[in-house]
Amino acid sequence: MTKKLFWENSYKTEFEAKIIELTKEGVVLNQTLFYPKSGGQVSDHGFLKAGDTIFEVDYTIKKEDEIIHHIKSDFKEELKIGKIVKGKIDWEYRYGIMKAHTSQHLFSALILNKYNIETSKVYIDFEEVVLELAQNMDYTQLKSVFNEVNSICISDNQKIEVKTMNYEEAKKCSNEIRGFVPEHSKIRLVQIESNDLVCCGGTHVHNSIEIGPLLIDSFKKNREIRYYLGKKAVNMLSDINIDLLISAELLNQPTLKLKQATEKNLNLISNLQQENKNLIIRTLNLISQIPTTSINNISIYIIDMNIENKILTKEFKNFPSNSLLIANLSNNKFRVFSKCKDVKANEIVQYLIEKFGGKGGGSDNSAQCSIDYESMDILNEIRIVLNRK
Ligand SMILES: [Zn+2]
């Protein structure tokens, strides 16, 4: 069994321990400060020193009551059972995880306290957290909770305390505990003043202001919140700041009015798209009245425009009978529509593919293809197809 020194003092970085077991991947110690991956929190990494030799521990995992320290290099020669080693965790990394973990308690607790929404899953990494909520939350709710969490993490100075009690005691006060109480003989509870009380075996900071400001990176499907803190948040904030400045200059707007400017521009784009669509429909209507040419009583219409298939299909219904419409889209793509008994749309497409290479297909009335050859005279090719009838 490995004694969990990180539970006694999460701020301690160095320790001494005895090797009690060797596994294929690494060593098991009688006690350790290395937190093993569990409860949504990533593991610590660092070093073990035996004599003058340093071994890198890249991760630690839990196996029943033991913690395996995974050693990157070949260690079997020097590390033997009974040997005393000195351990040192990567403090900057651990501290970033402690801050992230504590912020997660606070965030989850406030979402539950304010909106009765539980957190169903968490992922805690170095200066990064993902919360998966059991129910949807809207942006107004998110903003309200986020402001409160940030205020506590920046200036509210709330204490984080750990207490242990036996299972029966914990069960008695389970209505005050967020989440479930595991059936262990000793229960470890983490409390953030009047905001949160939860069973947890992770590592946490002592005071909320150690966490610092949080920055939300994404809010997917109104349920998944990914946020950063510490250096990750500051770096991201700097990037966003510069991007905002560039966007503000491009849009010729003050930075703080970018949201309104973006909404205005999106409306403008939407109106332009609608006007463009109306214009295309009017153009198709005009084109349908004057064929490009006529061969064997078939009216041929050729248009060089990138038009959506939905619009073409709908508008071709208004073309006269015995019409053949060829839309030359961008990148050697063609769409063919036919109202002729003698010439099928797919027949033309297959002819083009066979002659010039490419791919495509379709039905008697509608077909499309991408042609490999660039300088093709489409009208000339249609003429060849019709004249061989
Ligand atoms: Zn925790």
Domain boundaries, the chain: 3-89, 95-250, 281-387
Measured in Å, residue 162 CA sits from the centre of ligand 1 at 10
Name the amino acid, one letter, at 115: Y
Q: Which residue has the tokens 């242990």?
A: 164
Measured in Å, residue 168 CA sits from the centre of ligand 1 at 21
Measured in Å, residue 202 CA sits from the centre of ligand 1 at 5
Measured in Å, residue 152 CA sits from the centre of ligand 1 at 17
Task: Tell me how far apart the alpha carbons of residues 302 and 12 are, in angstroms, rounded to a whole number.
Answer: 78
Measured in Å, residue 237 CA sits from the centre of ligand 1 at 26
Residue 336: predicted pLDDT: 97
Measured in Å, residue 363 CA sits from the centre of ligand 1 at 62
Measured in Å, residue 43 CA sits from the centre of ligand 1 at 13
Furthest CA-CA distance within the chain:
99
Helix (H) or strand (E) holding 272: helix 258-287
pLDDT range class, residue 388, cuts 50, 70, 90: confident
Q: What is the pLDDT averaged over residues 121-125?
A: 97
Task: Tell me how far apart the alpha carbons of residues 102 and 54 are, in angstroms, rounded to a whole number.
Answer: 32
More confident residue, 103 or 24: 103
Residue 188: predicted pLDDT: 95
Tell me the percentage of the chain whose pLDDT exceeds 90. 89
Measured in Å, residue 166 CA sits from the centre of ligand 1 at 18
Q: What is the pLDDT averaged over residues 288-308?
A: 93
Measured in Å, residue 49 CA sits from the centre of ligand 1 at 29
Residue 344's region, left for phi above 0, alpha for psi from -120 to 50, else beta, is beta
Residue 366: predicted pLDDT: 97
Q: What CATH class does 3-89 carry?
A: mainly beta
Residue 25: predicted pLDDT: 85
Measured in Å, residue 351 CA sits from the centre of ligand 1 at 68
Compute the mean pLDDT over every residue in the chain, rounded to the nearest whole number.
Answer: 95
Give per-residue pLDDT as tens, 73-95. Answer: 989 889 999 999 999 999 999 99
Measured in Å, residue 210 CA sits from the centre of ligand 1 at 15
pLDDT range class, residue 38, cuts 50, 70, 90: very high
Measured in Å, residue 116 CA sits from the centre of ligand 1 at 20
The residues whose Cβ lies within 5 A of ligand 1, an ion, are 101, 200, 202
Q: Where are the alpha helices (DSSP H) in 226-257?
A: 230-251
Task: With beta carbons less than 8 A apart as the criterion, state whether 61 and 34 touch.
Answer: no
Which stretches does DSSP call E strand in 136-247? 160-166, 186-192, 196-199, 214-220, 224-229
Q: What is the pLDDT averaged over residues 1-10?
A: 95
Q: What is the pLDDT averaged over residues 221-248?
A: 95
What order do you get walking across the sheet with 160-166 strand by strand? 160-166, 186-192, 196-199
Q: What is the pLDDT averaged over residues 6-12?
A: 96
Measured in Å, residue 109 CA sits from the centre of ligand 1 at 12
Measured in Å, residue 88 CA sits from the centre of ligand 1 at 22
Pick 281-387's CATH classification: 3.30.420.40, 3.10.310.40, 1.10.10.10, 3.40.640.10: 3.10.310.40
CATH number attached to the domain at 95-250 = 3.30.980.10
